[in-house]
Structures are given as C-alpha cells and as structure tokens.
Chain A
Amino acid sequence: MIRWVYRSLPGPTALRMSLFVLITLIFLVLLHFFYSWVGDTFLDPGGAVE
C-alpha cells in the first residue's frame, strides 16, 4: 500500500518524496487524534465525574 501511494504521486522524485513525507505526517497526526479519541472514550476519560 505504501508503494502504491508513492507510485501514485505525480512529478519528479524530489516532488514525490516531499509529497509522500507530507502525506505521512498528515496521516500520523490524524492517527494521533483517532487514538486519543478511542482512548479517552473507552479506556480512560480522565477520571472526572460529570
């Protein structure tokens, strides 16, 4: 899948690499928010009574 994403990117190698790094960073940030949401919702919502 990673190779497929890389090969799908347009332009020369330098542009491809830059786009790939950018996409990876965005993916990791989104993953962080997703993990945080799952953890806060189901595992440990902070311990407050509400």
Chain B
Amino acid sequence: MTIEQLVDPDESNSAVARLSRPWHDSKGVTVMRGVGWTLIYAGFLILGFVVHQLFITNIFAQRAQDTLESELAVRIDDGAQTFAYVDPATGDVVEVPEFDPTVGGGSSGGGVDLGEFEDRLFAYESAPDLGEALGTIRIPDIGLDWTIVEGVRLSPDLKKGAGHYPDTPIPGQAGNAGIAGHRTTYGQPFHDLGELNPGDRVFWDSATGTHEYEVREVFVVRPSELWVLDNRDGAWLTLTTCHPKWSATERLIVVSEMVGGPNFGLFGEPT
C-alpha cells in the first residue's frame, strides 16, 4: 500500500479511514454494549426480586391477616366451641355439641346425660375448612402475635402467615398440635423463633379460650423429619419454620407443653 493510499480517506482500508470510522461501529463495542445492557437488566431483575421478597410478600400477608382476624372473631362469636370426651374404649374423640353446662347442670347439661363421661369432658372445637382462621398464637418474649390459618399448603395457606397442620390436633386439645410458618417472607411470622429458650411462654387463643404453653425444646432437623409431629401423651404444641434464615435446607423446631388454660390437666399431668 502506498503512502497515498494510506492517507486517502476514500480508501476503505486506509489508516485514515479506519481511524475516522465511528467507534461505535466496531464489533467489540457492540458486544460490550450488549453485555452492559444485559447486566443492567439482570440487576433490575435481582433488585425486583429482593423488593418482592422483603416487602411485597409482607403486604400480601398483612392484608390476609386483616381478613383472618375478622373471620376468627366471627368464628368465636358464632360459638365454635363445644364439648367432647375421649371414648376410653376406642380412643376416639366424641363431640357432644348439644351439651350445655349452663342448662340443667351436672351430667345432664342441656338434657344430655353423659353419665360416667362427664368427668372426661373438655372444651372442643372442630377444625375449620382449609384456608380459614383457626386461632391466634402469641409469644410476648419475641413480640409474635399472628392469626393462624388452617392448613400448611404453600399457597394459599402459608402465604397468609402461619398454618396449622391439618393432620395434627388443634392447639388446646390432647396430643401434639403442629403449626408451620414462614421465617423471612410473607410477614415472616416466625422470624425470631430461634431466640426462644426453654421456659418461655406461648399463648394460644381460640374458640376454646386461651391456653398457655411452656417451651421445652428448641432444635434443628432436616425438612423430611416428620417424626417431630408424631402424637404424644398430654397436650403439646410444636412450631416449625425454616432454618437458617433465608434458607430451605433445615427446619427449626420449637416444642412446648400445655401449662395452663381451660383444658389444662385434662389430658394428664405435664412432664
């Protein structure tokens, strides 16, 4: 190539032509620009995810809680509490909805003669439909106060806060009642559950009144360890949540035993 060709701006491959070509036409710059915009979009996508998990899910849960509180008030006002006894022959819970201790008195309340089963009566409520309000759990030591929904389906039950395992007894009754709740999203009802220690108090408010529990154990298991919900003699309440925070790898378990309330002492002495 001659000097004339090198400096001729009309020669497409001349040095002058190459140097004067717009910089943004180069392939490398185009690729870099594409990578840059991709990273910017990815950044917005991740930022949106953080905002969604930290704030948007809490808004959904709080709105659901408002509805649940109203539902629970109606459930309690409608007299969801009845009485029941455990049939010693079969071990089944026998509900006596027509029994009314304020009428007639004694073992014939409301005209129902319970005979020998009168001493076995306890305050009873049947579970509502899945997704409906069941009761309120309060743990003053960690500032927890949440209305509990029936069911532990990821959606919609647990998106409303915390839910009662339908296959376990209702809190306030005999056996091992289970409640699961989010730890970091959807209102994070069980965010501070790890701060509980044996001896701390847990309160359960429902149609049967207020029952008081005392924390016995706090431990961590794998998510598949269903034995934590196995039934027990006496009256227990087991809370489960994710562990560690922002992780699905383990479950934090808080086991508490009934130490007060209308049904206290009816299912055996506490340990």
Q: Give me the interface of A with B, judged by CB distance under 8 Å.
A: 1, 31-32, 35-36, 38-50
Contacts and interface: CB of A to CB of B under 8 A. Distances in A.
A46 B181 CA distance: 5
A50 B226 contact: yes
Interface stretch (B102-110, B120-128, B246-254, B256-264): B246-254
A44 B246 contact: yes
Contact of B185 (A1, A43, A49, A50): A43
Contacts of A40: 154-155
B72 interface: no
B53 A47 contact: no
Interface of B: 37, 41, 48-49, 52-53, 56-57, 152, 154-155, 158, 162-163, 165, 180-186, 190, 221, 223-226, 228-229, 240-242, 246-248, 251-252
A44 B182 contact: yes
Nearest to A40: B154
Contacts, number: 82
A41 B165 contact: no
A40 B154 CA distance: 8
Contacts of A39: 49, 52-53, 57, 185
Contact of A47 (B41, B48, B155, B181): B181
Nearest to B154: A46
B241 A47 contact: yes
Contact of A45 (B228, B229, B248): B248
Given A44-B242, A49-B240, 19 more contacts: A1-B37, A35-B48, A35-B53, A43-B185, A43-B246, A44-B184, A44-B185, A44-B186, A44-B248, A45-B154, A45-B242, A45-B248, A46-B158, A47-B181, A47-B182, A48-B154, A49-B224, A49-B226, A50-B224
Contacts of B162: 47
